[in-house]
Chain A
C-alpha cells in the first residue's frame, strides 16, 4: 500500500496562489491540486486567525485578500481521482480533485467566490448550510442563471455563522454529484465560542458513493442504490489517511454525507458527542455520549472526544457492505457447499477456475487474485496481524503518547504493551462432547415441518423439503 505523504507545509500546494502576480482587479488565479494525499493544514497567512482543519486526502483552497474580502476561485472541471493506488476514476470535481478543496473562513468574513465552469455542461454551486442572500444560494433556475460552460460567476456573501458546511452543484445535481462534485466548507468561530471547544485535531471528510463497473473508469451516474465504491473524500481503505492524535488531544471529526443512503459512523475505543451539525453547534443539553452517529443523506455531523486511549482504533461506517470494495451484490452464498469433485470438472471448461466462498469470504482478504483492469478488490488492506478484509469507508484513529502537536503523519502500527493483545487459549481444550450444529440449515432437534400438500413433490434431484439428514 502506498503511504500518504504529508506536505512539509502549505507552500507546495499553495505556491501558485502565494505568488499571484495578477492585477488585483483581475480574477484570482485558480490553484490546482494534483495529489490525492492529505495536504498539511493551511495556516491562514492573512485575515482573521483560526486553527485549520485537516481534510483527509484533501486540501484547503488558498485565497487572496482583496479590499478586506476573501477571494477564492473554484474551477469546476473533469478530474481523474486516484481513489486507491492504481485505481483511477474519471470524475468531475474542482481545482484538480474530487472532492474539491476545503474552503475555510472565519465567522464574519466577507467572502467572494469566483466559479469558473470548465465542465461540458452548465453548473451552479450551492453553499449548503449558509445564511446568504437568496440570489447567492446557487440553485440554477431558481435563484440564478446556470453557469454555462466557459463562464465564470461570482458569489459574494458574509460567513454569518460558524459551523461545518459543504458546497455542491444544484444544477443537474444527480449527474454532477454522482460524478464527484462536492467540497467542504468550514466556518471557524471568531475567537472563543461558548458552544465550540478548542480542539487540537480537527478532521473533515465527506462521504460519497460511486458505482464504477469493474474494469471501467467512469461512475455510472444513473445508479441509485447499488453502489460499489464507498468513500471518505473519494478514497477507499486502505488508501484513506489515518486520523492521528496525540494522547489526550481533543479531536473533532466533521462528516458530511452526499451519498444516497445514511451512514452510521462508528469510532472504536472512545465515546464522542455530536457537538454540531450543519445547523450549527449543538446545545450542550442536547449532547449525549455515543460511539456511533448516523449521518443521514445531505447532513453533516461534527463529533468530538478526548483521544485518551492509545492504539490504532477503527473508524468506519457500520454498514458492513460500506467497508467492502467492489463486489457483486447478486451472488449466492456458497458457505458449507461441498465442492469436491466439481472444481476439476469446471476447470476443464474454465481452466483458471478456483473454488471460493465454501468457507465464507474471508479467503478473499488474503488472496491476490487477478481482477479486471482498474478494479478495486472487495477486501483488501493488511494490518500487523493479517488481512483487514476491508475496502471502503474505513480508516483508523491512531492515538499515540509521543507525537508532535502538528504532526499528522502516519505513525505506523501501534506497539501494544505486553499482555494487551488477544491471544490463543492454551489451557484445557474444548470438551469434545459439547453440542454443536452439524447439519447446515437444520437445527438439531428441530421439528420436522412439512408443508401441506407438498409430500413427494420435490423438484427432480432436489432433497425433499425438511430433510434433515446431514449432507
Chain B
C-alpha cells in the first residue's frame, strides 16, 4: 500500500478538493498571491484574509529525482520519479509523474504537465501527467 495522507483541519479543504477532482490552493486577498501548503495565514503578509481557489491544474516540471530504492508501497514502480512541479499559479508541490516513462530521457525540466488524481484509501492525491494526456 502506498502511503496515504491524513488530513488535518487546516488541510481538509485541499483534500476535499482532490476527492472532488479539483486542485484547490489558497490565495491571500490583499496580496493577490497564491500559496501552498495549506495554512491559515498568508506567508507574505501574515494576514488571515485568505481564500480557497481552484487551480487550473496546469504545471511545469521544476525538478525531480528518479528513485531506485523504492519506498514501501512503491515496489512495483521502481525506478520512479519523485518530482516537484510548479503550478501555473506560481506555487510548487511534490508529486509523482504518470503517463510518461520515468527516465531522464523522457523527463525534461520545464515540460508542461497537468494534474490527475489517484485514489489512496480514503483520500485522492494529485499526480501529474504530460499536458495533452498520457503518451
| A and B interact | no
Q: Which A residues contact B (CB, under 8 angstroms)?
A: none
Q: Which B residues contact A (CB, under 8 angstroms)?
A: none
